[in-house]
Structure 1
C-alpha cells in the first residue's frame, strides 16, 4: 500500500515540474553555430635598422651552453592582429651572431620567422609558415613566448615584456 502512495506522490511531483516547464513563456531562440571572426594577419615589415648592442636584453635558457639569447628592446611591438613582433639575437661565445625578426601569436602558441639579417640588411625567407611553439625550457622561442611575451593567451604590453626580461623572477618564487 505504501509503494502505491509513494508512486502516486512521485508522479504528482514530476507532473507539476513538467507543467511548470511547459508554462514558461520565455523567448525561444533557434540554435545557431557560434559566430567566429576570422583572424587576419597584419602586414609586416622588419625594422629599418638592425639591433644595437645597447638595446639588447639577454634572457636565460636552460640549454644555454655556448650561446646567449637576446631581445631587441627598442623594436618590440604588438600588432593590431595581436602578434608580438621583435628582433631576436643568438650569439655564440666566439662572437658569431644570428639576427632574426619574428612574430609570436599568444592566442595559438605559434611563432613565425619574418626576416633574417644578412650583411647588414634584412632578407625575407622563401617560406615562413606559422609553427607551434611547444612548452620546452630548453627552446629559446618557447622560453621567450611562455615566460615573457604572453600572459595566458594574450600578449603582454611591450613595457611589461621589457620589465620581465630585465627583472625575471627566480624559479623558487
Structure 2
C-alpha cells in the first residue's frame, strides 16, 4: 500500500467463476513464449475497490492447460492469485498476496493490463469496454 492509497481495503473476493475455454480471448504474447495465455471475458469483474478480477487460461500447444483466478490492482501495478484450477476443481491459494506484476517471468499480466484491463493506473470504465479492448488490442507502432 502506498501513501496515496490511504486506508484502501480490498473487498472480499467471491468464489472463482465458471469459465469456458471456448469463450477465451487470446492475450498477445511474444512469439518466443512457449505458453499461450487467454482470458474468459465472462469472468471479468471490476469491483468498487478498483480490483479487476478474471480467469486466465494458460496452455501449451498440444499439451496440458491450467487456469488461474486472479485480481489486478491497476493503481499499484500488482496482481494477486486467488485460486488455481487443477484436476477439475479450484484450489484456493494459501495466503494470497499482492505482488508487482512487472516481475512475473511470463509477463502475461503486464500484457493483459496493457491490452485492456487497465487504462493507465485505473481500471477501465466498464467490463464491456474492457472486453472490446481485449478483442481488438492496440498494436504498438514499430
Structures share fold, TM-score greater than 0.5: yes
5+ residue gaps in structure 1? 1-33
Structure 2 gaps of 5+ residues are none
With CA pairs under 8 Å and 6+ residues apart, which has the higher RCO, 1 or 2? 2
- Residue of structure 1 in register with 2:78 after alignment: 110
Over 3 Å counting, the alpha-carbon distance change for 1:64 and 1:144 in structure 2 is farther
Q: Which has the higher helix share?
A: 1
For the structure 1 residues 119 and 36, does the alpha-carbon distance in structure 2 shift closer, same or farther, using more than 3 Å as the test? closer
Matched-pair contact (CA < 8 Å) for 1:62–1:137: no
Give yes or no for the alignment of 1:170 onto 2:111: no
Structure-1-length-normalised TM-score = 0.72
Shift of 1:68: 1.1
Q: Aligned residue pairs: how many?
A: 139
Question: 1:31 is matched with which residue?
Answer: none
What whole-Å deviation, never above 9, does each CA across 1:53-89 have from its counterpart, x for those lacking one? Answer: 2210001111553321100111100111110000000
CA distance in 2, matches of 1:148, 1:136: 18
- Determine which structure has more spread, i.e. the larger CA radius of gyration: 1
**Contact 2:17-2:43 at 8 Å conserved across structures:** no
Query: For 2:132, what is the secondary structure of its paired residue?
Result: helix
